[in-house]
Each structure stands twice: as C-alpha cells, then as structure tokens.
Amino acid sequence: MKIAVIGQSLFGQEVYKELRKDSHTIVGVFTIPDKDGKADPLATEAEKDGVPVFKFPRWRVKGKAIPEVVAQYKATGAELNVLPFCSQFIPMEVIDHPKHGSIIYHPSLLPRHRGASAINWTLIHGDKKGGFTVFWADDGLDTGPILLQRECDVEPNDTVNTIYKRFLFPEGVKGTVEAVRLIAEGKAPRITQPQEGATYECIQKKDNSKIDWNQSAEALHNWIRGNDKVPGAWILASLNCFVSLFLSAAKGQPLEIPGASKPGIITKAGLVLFGNDNKALLVKNLQFEDGKMIAAAQYYSSGSSTAVELTEEEKVFAEQMKAVWKSILSNVTRIEDSTDFFKSGAASMDVVRLVEEVKLQASSCQLQNEDVYMNTTFQEFIQMCIRKLRGEDDKEELVVDYVEKNINNMTIKMPHQLFINGEFVDADGGKTYKTINPTDGMAICDVSLAQISDVDKAVAAAKEAFEEGEWGKMNPRDRGRLIYQLADLMEEHQEELATIEAIDSGAVYTLALKTHVGMSIQTFRYFAGWCDKIQGSTIPINQARPNRNLTFTKKEPIGVCAIVIPWNYPLMMLAWKTAACLAAGNTVVLKPAQVTPLTALKFAELAARAGLPKGVINILPGSGALVGQRLSDHPDVRKLGFTGSTEIGKHIMKSCAVSNVKKVSLELGGKSPLIIFSDCDMDKAVRMGMSSVFFNKGENCIAAGRLFVEDTIHDQFVKRVVEEVKKMKIGDPLDRSTDHGPQNHKAHLDKLVEYCQNGVKEGATLVCGGKQVQRPGFFFEPTVFTDVGDHMFIAIEESFGPIMIISKFQCGEVDDVLRRANATEYGLASGVITRDISKALYVSERLHAGTVFVNTYNKTDVASPFGGFKQSGFGKDLGKRNCCCH
C-alpha cells in the first residue's frame, strides 16, 4: 500500500521504519521544519532512505488550506495517511483525499481524554487503566470511528515518561502498524465512539499547572506525576519526575510553601508534601524556573560541592565529551564551561543521545536522563561524569530501620522490612509476623509479611531494572566488579552475618562463619569472575560451501528470576542461586523461608551499599502459599529456582508450566545412601558417618538418610558412633564449644519426634536419642537407629534431622546393597567408604545420585555443579554451567 506518513518525533520514526519492514511503500514523509539546524528524527530516517520529505511550516492560513501545499501532497499518490504523532493542523482536503482515508494514533482510550494532553490527564484523574486508540480521522477533535484499541494497567507511581516508555511507545508502534495491516487486508473496523464517558481536557501548560493545595495527598500525587517534566506542576519551583506516596514519619528541614496546609520537609529521601487529609507524598526532584533540576534532598545544599581537579586521562575524556556536545549543539560555535545544554537548543531526544554517547566513551559511567537535567552546563556535566567514574557521585542514602541487638560481643543491626527497588519498605497494609530464635523460642523481631501486591511491585522493579535500567546495559566486567565488591562487603560483615544466622536458624556460630557465610562469600567471588566469560559458539554450516558461512550462538540473560529458598542454610542457598543469576545479567526476586528471613534482608542492605542498582535485588519475606505461589504464576518471571520439599517442587513445576512455561530448576528431597565396606579405615568411617548425618544438626539436603554397613563391622561401627554421639555438646549455638544447636523451628521439632516414634513402632532399634531435649528452645537429641528394614517408614522417608538410620548388608553382596541403596525415588547424593579403589569406582558408577562422595562426605565446592536425579529435582547450582542464560 502507498502510504504518506504525517508527523514527527522518535515515535513517528519507529512507525515509519516498521511500515517499511511490512513492505509498504512510503510515498512521502510530511514533518516539521528543522529546528536550530537539526532535522526531526522522522525526517532524518526518511532522507537516509531516499524517501521524499516535505517540511511545511503550516498547512493552512486563516483556516483555509494552502493550495500549493495540498497539491504537493496529492502528487505523492498516497492511498492512506498515517498520523503517528502530529502537532500540526492538517486540512480535511488532505485527511479525506486518499483511497483509504487517514488514521491517527492517540494515547488514551477514546472517548476518554480527547485532546493534546491525553497522557497527562490519564494520570491526573488517577485512572487505573490507560492505553491508546488508533482511529479514523474526521473533522472533529479525536472523535472519529475507532479502528483499534489496546489497554494497560496504570501503576500507582507511573509518570508520563514511565507509562509512555513501558507501553504507549512500544505497543503504540506495534498497534499503529497492525492497524495499517488490517486496512490492507480489508478487515479494519469502524466503531463509532460512544458519547457516554467522553471527556475533553485542555492542553496542560505552565500557566495552568500550579498546584491547588486543597486536595488529598493522592490527588496531589496524581497532579504532580500527571504534569511530569512538561509542563511541570509548580509551587515556588517546578516539581517533576518520579513521585511516590510516602507514608512514614519524616525528619528534616522545613520548607515553607504558600497555600499549603503545612510546610514541606526536605529529607534525605526527598521533599515530603502534605495533602489536606494530612497524608504525605514524596517528591524526588525539583526544577527551578531557569530549567535547572536538582535532587529534592539537596535543596538546601545545592551548589555547595567543591570542583574536582581532573587528571590527564580525565582531561582527555572531557575533550571527547566536548566534541559530543559540539556535534549535538551544531548551532554553537564553541563549547565553553558555561555552555548550557538546553539554553543552546537541546531537546529531550538530545538528552537520550548524550547519555548513549557517554556510555560509548566510558561504559562504567552509567548516566540517567535526569543526570543531564540536573547538570545543564558543560562544567557541571563533566564534574558529574568524573565523580561517577571515580565512584564519588552522591548516591541516594539508603534508609534502614534497624532492629539492633547486643549479642555475641557485638552490636548486630538487622533490617526487618521488605526490600523492593532499592528501598526497605513496609508490606502492603503494614502486615508483619514474628521471627523466632530457636535457641530460646523467643521472638527476635517483627518482620514485614509480603502480600501479593508486594510481589507484583518487586517483579515490576526487577523487570524495569533488567529492561530499562543500567544493569541490563552494563559492561560484564563492571557487573563482575560490583558482585566482587558485594563479596568484599559480606566478608567485612561476616561475623555479623554469622551471628544473625545463628540466632535466626539455630546454626552453630563456628559452622555459620565457615560454611553458611564463608561459602556464600566464595560463591559470589567465583561467579563475579564468570561475568565476562559467558560465551557462545561459532559453528560451521555444512551446506555453506563454497561461501564458508558460519553461524554463531550467543548466551543471553533470561530476565527476571524468582528464587525460593529453604531454612536450613538461609544465606548459602541465597548465594548459590543468586550469584549465578547476577553474573549473567539477570535480576532477582527472592523469597527467603518465612522462618529465617534476617540474613537475606541483611544481604539486601549490603547489596545496595555495594552499588548494585535499584531493582536488581528484591527480597520478600512471606508465606510460600502466597508469595511463592504468586512468583510461580507471575507472567513476567522467566525462571524460578526452588530448593525445598519434593511435594512443593511438583506444585511449583506445574504452576510454572501453566502460567507462562517459565524455566525451572528444582533441588528437592533426598534419602542419600552411604555404603560402608568392611575394608574401610574405621576412624575415617566413623568420622564421615557422623558428619554425613549430624552436620548442621541434620538439617542438610545431602545428609546421609540411610547408612548401609557391612555386617562384619556393623557392631563395631555402631559402638564407636554411639560413643561419639554421647560426647557431643548440645547447647547455645553462639557458644564456641557447642557441637549441636537447636532445630530450626517448633513444627520441625515435632515432626522429628513423630518420625522416631514411627521407627520404634515398626520395630527398629533405638540405640540413643529420639526425643526432645528438656530445655528452652527447639533442641532434639542426636539419634541412632539400627536393625532398620527396607520396608520401614524411616528407611524410606527423609527425616531432615539428626537421625542416623543404620542397616546391615551381607559381606561381599555388593550388587545387592546397590539395589537396596537405589531403591528410592530420591537421587540427590550418595557415598561409599572403602580402601578398594576398584570397588569405589564400581559402586560410584552404579549409585543413582547427582553427587557420589568417595571416602569423604559433605564436600561441596563453588566450582563443582550440584543437583539431583529422579524426584530430587533437576538443574544445577554452582559450577561453570550454572550461569542463568538462554
């Protein structure tokens, strides 16, 4: 079809490009004249393609079409006019001329919000739904028949900019092209606009955007975000950019505002304003009449920073930037320190270009558009860039409402709120629950309890960080540097992390320091090194001769990854799954176990302080039924990693399949066999057997759920084990001499008691233990069962506690014990202890498990992949291949 594109801007440019891809012939582009010597992007694109471009200053004079202009238009022979974004008045002689007439893109759901400020009024009215309409042009103002509509949710904190970038621009381009396709196929509808619900609002300009203070905080919020940067809602200075509801108490310097019911407050987070309902909202940025923008938190300190002296290398960068400014500001003869970017004619699309040019020159200098608006002169701009390159830029201070405790000869500071989009926030509705110290059964603190709406906010933040934020565009080496900085910060806080782990999960402090925290640090360091080594392949094509063509593959990040972890190793499970996701460039929404949320929240604080951008890490303490289920169902989550029970793993797998076929990795239950042959080193066998069962008080996914001991050494082995068990010190996990701490929580303790009762009932011999320790907290005695038959409940089901299950096998019956060891639906780990290397290899090759330990146990390493077979799950943690990529 022959099409005339009438309009302007980047939106018009994208529509033009997509129409050409759809094999339509663009017979002419009609756009606005050059401004300050610069052509509109639509004109630039068309001229590059050799398409005729017309830049009429106007189409009519005194209400009448200009004959010469109309004649030039008609000469193109257009069969359809497409108006993607047009600021000029187009006469009806042009609108009605083509065979198929004219269609117009409008950024609202007509008949609501007719007029040029449709997006603004969608937000000002607090609409829950927004969208766009492609309609047939008539002689009314946005009144023509509807051809196509698409709608989207309006988020509470959307601005004109965010909703435009997220939906109205990308989907609007697709929708306009789809409308043309329907016309070409003869399937385009003409639906008369209803009169009911029709609105028309005036164009928002500076003179009608002053704030009326006699409104609620929500109405003020909508007014400010609806006016956005242009025209900008104003008081003494213009308020614009990102605005969000702010409900917590504010402390800071007062700012008198004429007409307001009470003064505003300049805080570290921004400017707090109050509605007539005494509720509050937060303004992040301020813009003055001269166009200068600052962070609202800097209102009383703006302009006070000392200029930095540039090094020789930095002077070279400054000269490169001066050349970039000169190429953008082509009407300026010389770029001086005082040259103002906007006063010299730059527009919003020039801001985008400048930001991208900086990234090309210095990938580690990740600018946002607001950085340019806040540093408008060349000197301010260079100073800001240099500070960012040095890591000295003023970042928004992280606000943390700590719970502090003096314990373990230190003061630990624990965040207790949800962590969403770089901020600690209360759960929706202020919901909380108490996390319990298993050592004494007493509450540690109240923790925010995430709701479904909080999950949606966290996923949205992670998605924006991946698709629009600096994380997704960051150089892999810079990403690795940030992850390594995080590991360094974790190491600085390792004693605090280990103490929190001990009081929240019951882990013995010395083990928490070495394993829970120590291996977590190693994991982040290991994957930091993989960031710039995730590579594809180059593959010769057999059919390519004689051209010798090649194909190549790329590994790309998946997107938003959800992680659901258990309570036995709260920090280490977080590290195993999160580090790989981050290394590949993904973003994360993590649900810690509801009973052990505190180290995950402390990790979130350290991640923010290490410089990870907002939205990359999000932590949501809450129930599995609510938070875990929503993450499984969420359409914007592209992968879910889960460690937990087989029953829940099956449910998650089903939900992930039904929702959007998201990728899944599962590390589930285990009943790992350990086979001990009579030719073993008995001292080592006892030591490894004890470790395989009682390590981390038995709360260990790869724990040996069943020991098969050759009959000739069975009695000796049991005697030695019981002697060692009786030496174990049960007590406070913070006591350095404690061997065995409390079980994680009361419900688990009760299950262990019931588990042992089942064993006794079925006829197994309880050698020692089997009951709760009579003291405060959730302590359970290390337990040993012998004479366990293959049919018994305790031989089949996992205890996930300090319970050793011992069965005999006849001397020399290697294949028979292998059959018994493999007679389980689980396959996470296994082990063999023997001096005979041939026997060790024979057995290890035939054990059906993801990991086989030979003459050792519990030896995991960050470089070695970890995962299970059968109903113990699939997918791997750790190792080279676990970087979460497509």
In the residue annotation, 106 being an active-site residue is answered as: yes
| Domain match, 565 and 463 both | yes
Residue type, 478: D
DSSP 767-780: EE--SB-SSSS--B
Q: Is 383 annotated as a binding residue?
A: no
> Which of the residues 667, 699, 710, 781 is marked catalytic?
667
Helix (H) or strand (E) holding 535: none
- At 396, list the tokens: 């928004």
| Domain match, 89 and 124 both | yes
How far apart CA 555 and CA 884 sit, in angstroms, is: 9
DSSP state of 33: P
- Looking at the structure of the chain, the number of domains it has is 5
Asked if 567 contacts 745 with a C-beta cutoff of 8 angstroms, the reply is yes
| Domain match, 382 and 427 both | no
Q: What is the pLDDT of residue 504?
A: 97
Cα-based distances in Å from 851 to 29, 686, 845, 866:
65, 20, 11, 7
| Domain match, 750 and 637 both | no
Residue of 348, 331, 407, 421 whose CA lies nearest to 164: 348
- At 217, list the tokens: 């905080």
Cα-based distances in Å from 464 to 163, 630, 661, 678, 685:
12, 18, 21, 60, 53
| Domain match, 285 and 419 both | no
Q: What is the pLDDT of residue 246?
A: 38
The total of other beta-carbon atoms located within 10 Å of residue 672's CB is 31
The total of other beta-carbon atoms located within 10 Å of residue 18's CB is 17
- At 271, list the tokens: 């400017």
Supply the CATH number for residue 815's domain.
3.40.309.10
| Domain match, 562 and 626 both | yes
| Domain match, 16 and 124 both | yes
Flag whether 873 is in a domain. Answer: no
Residue 484, phi then psi, degrees to nearest 5: -65, -40
DSSP state of 298: G
How far apart CA 336 and CA 379 sit, in angstroms, is: 8
Q: In 774-870, which ranges are E strands?
A: 783-786, 803-809, 826-827, 829-833, 851-854, 869-870
Helix (H) or strand (E) holding 120: helix 118-124
Residue 404, phi then psi, degrees to nearest 5: -110, 140
Which residues neighbour 59 within 8 Å (Cβ) at sequence distance 6 or greater? 65, 66, 69, 70, 88, 89, 90, 91, 94
Asked if 793 contacts 758 with a C-beta cutoff of 8 angstroms, the reply is yes
Residue that is last in its domain, among 667, 683, 702: 667
Which residues neighbour 16 within 8 Å (Cβ) at sequence distance 6 or greater? 5, 26, 29, 42, 45, 46, 84
Q: Is 514 annotated as a binding residue?
A: no
Q: What is the pLDDT of residue 237?
A: 44
Q: What is the pTM of this model?
A: 0.64
| Domain match, 386 and 439 both | no
- At 187, list the tokens: 């399937």
| Helix spans in 762-813 (H) | 793-796
Flag whether 872 is in a domain. Answer: no
Q: Is 593 annotated as a binding residue?
A: yes
SS3 at position 325: helix
Sign of CA dihedral 585, 591, 592, 597: positive
Flag whether 876 is in a domain. Answer: no
Flag whether 515 is in a domain. Answer: yes
- At 274, list the tokens: 């109050």
Supply the CATH number for residue 345's domain.
1.10.1200.10
Q: What is the pLDDT of residues 20-49, one digit of tens each?
A: 999 999 999 999 999 877 889 999 999 999
Q: Is 628 annotated as a binding residue?
A: yes
| Domain match, 490 and 475 both | yes
Supply the CATH number for residue 529's domain.
3.40.605.10
| Domain match, 556 and 468 both | yes
- At 774, list the tokens: 């009579």
Residue 127, phi then psi, degrees to nearest 5: -60, 140
Q: What is the pLDDT of residues 859-882, one digit of tens each?
A: 999 999 999 999 999 999 999 865
Q: In 415-481, which ranges are E strands?
A: 418-420, 423-425, 432-437, 442-448
SS3 at position 832: strand
Residue type, 714: H
Flag whether 395 is in a domain. Answer: no
Sign of CA dihedral 175, 177, 180, 185: negative
> Which of the residues 24, 100, 106, 848 is marked catalytic?
106
Q: Is 518 annotated as a binding residue?
A: no
Asked if 161 contacts 198 with a C-beta cutoff of 8 angstroms, the reply is no
Asked if 168 contacts 153 with a C-beta cutoff of 8 angstroms, the reply is no
Which residues neighbour 304 within 8 Å (Cβ) at sequence distance 6 or greater? none
Q: Is 799 annotated as a binding residue?
A: yes
Q: Is 639 annotated as a binding residue?
A: no
Q: Is 782 annotated as a binding residue?
A: no
Flag whether 312 is in a domain. Answer: no
Residue of 476, 496, 491 whose CA lies nearest to 522: 491
Q: What is the pLDDT of residue 544?
A: 55
Q: Is 597 annotated as a binding residue?
A: no
Q: What is the pLDDT of residue 249?
A: 41
Q: What is the pLDDT of residue 432?
A: 97
Q: Is 613 annotated as a binding residue?
A: no
Q: What is the pLDDT of residue 460?
A: 96
DSSP state of 26: E
How far apart CA 567 and CA 653 sit, in angstroms, is: 20
Q: Is 675 annotated as a binding residue?
A: no
Residue 56, phi then psi, degrees to nearest 5: -75, 130
User: How would you classify the pairing of strands 873-874 and 238-245?
Assistant: unpaired
Q: What is the pLDDT of residue 273?
A: 87
Residues of the chain with pLDDT under 50: 236-251, 304
How far apart CA 563 and CA 835 sit, in angstroms, is: 41
Q: What is the pLDDT of residues 167-209, one digit of tens each?
A: 999 999 999 999 999 999 999 999 999 999 999 998 877 777 8
Helix-helix angle 476-492:494-505, to 10 degrees: 70
Buried residues in 298-329 as b, exposed as e (16+ CB within 10 A): bbeeeeeeeeeeeeeebeebbeebbebbeebb
Q: Is 234 annotated as a binding residue?
A: no
Q: Is 644 annotated as a binding residue?
A: yes
| Domain match, 325 and 341 both | yes
Q: Is 13 annotated as a binding residue?
A: no
Q: Is 645 annotated as a binding residue?
A: yes
> Which of the residues 581, 656, 701, 756 is marked catalytic?
701
Which residues neighbour 327 within 8 Å (Cβ) at sequence distance 6 or greater? none
Q: Is 382 annotated as a binding residue?
A: no
Residue that is last in its domain, among 185, 215, 248: 185
Flag whether 284 is in a domain. Answer: yes
Which residues neighbour 772 within 8 Å (Cβ) at sequence distance 6 or greater? 749, 753, 778, 779, 780, 781
Residue type, 731: G
DSSP 249-286: ---SEEE--TT-SS-EEE-SS-EEEE-TTS-EEEEEEE
In the residue annotation, 701 being an active-site residue is answered as: yes
Residue 190, phi then psi, degrees to nearest 5: -130, 95
Q: Is 592 annotated as a binding residue?
A: yes
Supply the CATH number for residue 169's domain.
3.40.50.170
Which residues neighbour 431 within 8 Å (Cβ) at sequence distance 6 or greater? 448, 449, 451
Asked if 104 contacts 94 with a C-beta cutoff of 8 angstroms, the reply is no
Q: Is 317 annotated as a binding residue?
A: no
Which residues neighbour 207 within 8 Å (Cβ) at sequence distance 6 or greater? none
Residue that is last in its domain, among 150, 185, 220: 185
How far apart CA 649 and CA 617 sit, in angstroms, is: 23
Flag whether 822 is in a domain. Answer: yes
User: How would you classify the pairing of strands 783-786 and 765-768?
Assistant: antiparallel
The total of other beta-carbon atoms located within 10 Å of residue 762's CB is 14
Helix (H) or strand (E) holding 820: helix 814-822
User: How would you classify the pairing of strands 2-6 and 80-83?
Assistant: parallel
Asked if 228 contacts 219 with a C-beta cutoff of 8 angstroms, the reply is no
The total of other beta-carbon atoms located within 10 Å of residue 197's CB is 10
Sheet holding 637-643, edge to edge: 423-425, 418-420, 617-619, 587-591, 560-564, 637-643, 663-667, 873-874
Q: Is 126 annotated as a binding residue?
A: no
| Dihedral, 599, 604, 605, 607 alpha carbons, nearest 10 | 120
Phi and psi based region of residue 548 (left: phi greater than 0; alpha: psi -120 to 50; beta: remaining): left
Domain that holds residue 262: 206-298
Q: Is 144 annotated as a binding residue?
A: no
What radius of gyration, in Å, describes the C-alpha atoms of the chain?
Answer: 33
Q: Is 269 annotated as a binding residue?
A: no
| Domain match, 327 and 351 both | yes
How far apart CA 550 and CA 681 sit, in angstroms, is: 56
How far apart CA 313 and CA 679 sit, in angstroms, is: 68
How far apart CA 346 and CA 335 sit, in angstroms, is: 13
Helix-helix angle 598-609:570-583, to 10 degrees: 40
